Structure 1
Amino acid sequence: MFPWVVFALTFGLLLSDYMSRQVLSAVFPFLKEEWGLTDTQLGSLTSIVALAVGVLAVPLSLVGDRWGRVRAIVVMAVVWSLATLGCALAAGYGHLLAARLMIGVGEAAYGSVGLAVVLAVFSARRRASLTGAFMAAGSFGSVLGVALGGLLAVQFGWRWAFAVMGVFGLVLAGLYWVLINERKLAAHRVDDAPGTGPALAARHRRAKLSTLFSTPAVIFAYVGGGLQLFIAGSLFAWLPSYFNRAHDMAPDKAAKVAALFILIMGAGMIVCGMITDRVGRSRPISKWTTAIVFATVTFVFLGAAFAVEPGGAQMLLLAIGCFFAAGTTGPTGAMVARLTHESIRATAFGTLTLFNNVLGLAAGPVITGVLADRLGLATAMRYVPLAAVAAVVLLFLGRRAYPASIRRLELAETTGATDGGPA
């Protein structure tokens, strides 16, 4: 029962994380009208969060591994929630940009530390499913942030949209502090099963930080997964504005429709994770194959969606493309877990978060915004699916490197590669 309490509360805080991050997309039209912001400026307000997350994910994840993951999670949640309340008080673009930066500081290591906490209390055979389900909270939080934010902005003004998100995060942080602690986590910890865990350290030794990049396969997982999330980042940030401009929808309706597609993306993350675990149960290398398939399908259907005129056909193509757009999250998370040791797993997921944000969630919104200023948003969105092509190439290379990488890990165990030295 306790592991599922851990999952529920950690999942809930990731909801809050993305509600605070993505509520901004719902109020783009209000900020553009009130402050006269350009699309590049609007994109930068989204990207500054992801950029801060990417830059700080690894060092703050390392702090979480050393200082205590529960304590780190609560502090992070309080910081991003207070910063979200600060957005509600912003007097202009500069103030809002600074508050958004602090949201990124608070959120930087949450996904990696939170996922490490979740995976520590469940068996290894569920990794892709749990990773996909946990990270799907990002999509569901985005849905709630965009839909609820659009409703609040229309009814009460855009500042209330930020205020409600901030209060929600503070309430969840309090519950986490009361119900979860390091002692309970240690009592419910599930060690890697023999033959399925990474061969990087003896069970009770801390692996060296150099092992985060010790094999080609894990590097390809980091970079390939990050590039695929370029697409998700662009969709999170710009779908409400796309429906507002290309489909002539009112801001609140555009936010609701965009929220539906983001919800589809979240459902796809869960289903793709479950498929990956089932397919890879007997042949772990098949997890790479599923990731390649998910990225390929994304390119085909989103490329077609943004190439046709707005209408019913476009909506259907867009729905299929969104379903698979973040489907690589579960497989890449499972591969990183497979190729790194539990003692530094939060730091490993922090490294994955670095690539996910710098290459994906930060780059996507701002590059799409720059293209929108020059070419128009409808044209800019046509270029977004091309990121999947690069992701497919890198994931294919990771699949080829995987057998040799596993052999290298097994050799590291037999030679005591992690003996001695600090992590």
Structure 2
Amino acid sequence: MIETPKPATINQPVTRYKWELLALLWLAFFLNQADRQIFSVVLPLIRDDLGFTDAQLGLIASALIWTYGLLVPIAGFIGDRFSRRNIVAYCLLFWSVATLFTGLCSTLVQFILLRGVATGGGEAFYAPSANALIGENYPKNRAFALSIHQTAVYFGIIMSGLIAGYIGENYGWQNAFFLFGSLGVVLSIVVFLRIPKDNPLLLTAKESPSGAELWATTKIILRKPTVVMLTLGFGCMVFVNVGFLTWMPTFLVDKFGLTLTEAGFSSLFYHHVGAFLGVLWGARLSDRYATRNPKSRLVVQSLGLLIGAPFIYLMSVSATQAVTYFALFLFGVFRGWYDSNIVASLYEVVSPKIRASAYGLVLACAFLIGATSPYILGVLKPTLGLSAGLASLSVMYVLGAACIGAGAWFFFDRDKETGTA
């Protein structure tokens, strides 16, 4: 009888920890995406100020994605071996300092080194550890918690589009990098102070996969066709996403004569409001049906890409702003369906002991597939134009839907049976 108050005493700090953890990771992911998007928003100003060609600007954007893709598997393996709190805090500090100093760049090499290598390298270490922390703390409503975290992507991109565009037009593109970089440095200090080094919720924390080596994990993934199909589908989505995010603000400036602030806001707001609604909708759908059939997570993802493809084409060829914004919104809604289960689908077929490592490898392959998109669109822009280039991205969505659908239909049942150790 004396011990009855204990559950409440224990549960209260645990609940507070879980929500504070999710809130701080949301803010970190917000800045992760905001810092990544600043360059695309102020790209026309950098082009006019420094005289870079479209191909050079595309190369800078692709350099970040290439660096991210190369380093993220290393980040995953480190995330399975060391304090995930420390990894999140240090990488946040590193990419924020790189973002801050990007405001001082004046040559192509400087942008590639600071914007591409340093910022991309710092950001690569965030997602595997952050998603693993969330996944292990929210086992019963994992997709919903991960989807809340995912909404930071949309808010980060929207707000960076609005704020960076306004600051760039009125105070110079350099100050946009200074502002967001400084905010990240402050947040990294808060993360160090507020998130415990070792997760207090995990009684089995010492069972961390210290024996899971790179080659062993790679072989596990290669033996699971479902993971391969998810990775290919992810790569198709990344190809579309980085190309769209890099060039859509410039597309609206060139096509409709918008100001940089208007283009930065409109190119990102309608799409990501739709994605915000879609990711919560998709998470609820998959969490509801996955209790009976975990394959539902992949079905939701595949449908999201397939239904979203026509709206990518429509946003690119429409002659009016209203139709373009309508298509951007619906493109976002069904992109959200896909986003809602990126991590949750993978976790259905990967052992908990190697989840950060596996997610890092999947991210690496997907981002290396998609990294060439900004550069290719930049090279094609002078001849085909951005409208045709962006419209062609719809084909990649259809291809991605086919890959994920094949994984769900042909391989998931076998991989699910052996994938939840």
Report the TM-score, using the length of structure 2 for normalisation.
0.89
Aligned equivalent of 1:378: 387
Amino acid across the alignment from 1:287 = R
Query: Is residue 40–residue 370 contact of structure 1 (8 Å, CA) maintained in 2?
Result: yes
Aligned equivalent of 2:202: 189
Aligned equivalent of 2:80: 65
Q: 1:82 aligns with which of 79, 84, 97?
A: 97
Higher mean C-alpha displacement, 128-137 vs 96-105: 128-137
Matching of residues 94-113 of structure 1 within 5 Å? 94-100=109-115, 101-113=117-129
Distance in 2, matches of 1:203 and 1:98, equals 34
2:347 is equivalent to residue 347 of structure 1: no
Q: 1:298 aligns with which of 280, 304, 308?
A: 308
Query: Is residue 143–residue 287 contact of structure 2 (8 Å, CA) maintained in 1?
Result: yes
Aligned equivalent of 2:17: 2
Residue 51 and residue 327 in structure 1: after superposition, are their counterparts in 2 closer, same or farther (change >3 A)? farther
Matching of residues 274-423 of structure 1 within 5 Å? 274-360=284-370, 362-400=371-409, 401-409=411-419
Higher mean C-alpha displacement, 260-269 vs 292-301: 260-269
Amino acid across the alignment from 2:364 = L
Query: Is residue 228–residue 326 contact of structure 1 (8 Å, CA) maintained in 2?
Result: no
Q: Deviations over 1:359-388 (max 9, x none)?
A: 23x233222222223311122111111111
How many residues get paired?
Answer: 398
Higher mean C-alpha displacement, 61-70 vs 75-84: 61-70
Q: Deviations over 1:75-109 (max 9, x none)?
A: 11111011111101112222122111200110112
Aligned equivalent of 1:228: 237
Query: Is residue 229–residue 326 contact of structure 1 (8 Å, CA) maintained in 2?
Result: no
Amino acid across the alignment from 2:258 = M
2:176 is equivalent to residue 161 of structure 1: yes
Deviation at 1:341, TM superposition (A): 2.2
3-state secondary structure, aligned to 1:306? helix
Distance in 2, matches of 1:206 and 1:213, equals 18
Q: Deviations over 1:275-298 (max 9, x none)?
A: 222232321112121111101111
Query: Is residue 229–residue 325 contact of structure 1 (8 Å, CA) maintained in 2?
Result: no
Q: 1:247 aligns with which of 256, 271, 292?
A: 256
Distance in 2, matches of 1:220 and 1:251, equals 39
Residue 211 and residue 56 in structure 1: after superposition, are their counterparts in 2 closer, same or farther (change >3 A)? same
Amino acid across the alignment from 1:113 = S
Aligned equivalent of 2:42: 27
Amino acid across the alignment from 2:359 = F
3-state secondary structure, aligned to 1:67? coil
Residue 117 and residue 377 in structure 1: after superposition, are their counterparts in 2 closer, same or farther (change >3 A)? same
Q: Deviations over 1:48-84 (max 9, x none)?
A: 1111111100012212221221111111111101111
Residue 284 and residue 88 in structure 1: after superposition, are their counterparts in 2 closer, same or farther (change >3 A)? same
Amino acid across the alignment from 2:102 = C
Higher mean C-alpha displacement, 303-312 vs 174-183: 303-312
Deviation at 1:213, TM superposition (A): 3.3
Distance in 2, matches of 1:342 and 1:405, equals 14
Distance in 2, matches of 1:305 and 1:143, equals 18
Distance in 2, matches of 1:343 and 1:271, equals 29
Distance in 2, matches of 1:305 and 1:45, equals 25
Deviation at 1:326, TM superposition (A): 4.6
Distance in 2, matches of 1:104 and 1:151, equals 24
Distance in 2, matches of 1:8 and 1:218, equals 29
Deviation at 1:132, TM superposition (A): 2.7
Residue 151 and residue 211 in structure 1: after superposition, are their counterparts in 2 closer, same or farther (change >3 A)? same
Distance in 2, matches of 1:317 and 1:33, equals 30
Distance in 2, matches of 1:230 and 1:172, equals 30
Report the TM-score, using the length of structure 1 for normalisation.
0.88
Deviation at 1:236, TM superposition (A): 1.5
Residue 408 and residue 340 in structure 1: after superposition, are their counterparts in 2 closer, same or farther (change >3 A)? closer
Is there any run of 5+ residues in structure 1 with no aligned partner, and where?
A: 192-201, 414-423
Distance in 2, matches of 1:281 and 1:374, equals 50
Matching of residues 126-165 of structure 1 within 5 Å? 126-165=141-180
Q: 1:116 aligns with which of 119, 123, 132?
A: 132
3-state secondary structure, aligned to 1:14? helix
Aligned equivalent of 2:56: 41
Residue 51 and residue 205 in structure 1: after superposition, are their counterparts in 2 closer, same or farther (change >3 A)? closer
Amino acid across the alignment from 1:126 = N
Query: Is residue 253–residue 263 contact of structure 2 (8 Å, CA) maintained in 1?
Result: yes
Deviation at 1:315, TM superposition (A): 2.2
Residue 150 and residue 406 in structure 1: after superposition, are their counterparts in 2 closer, same or farther (change >3 A)? same
The two structures, once aligned, show a CA RMSD in angstroms of 2.1
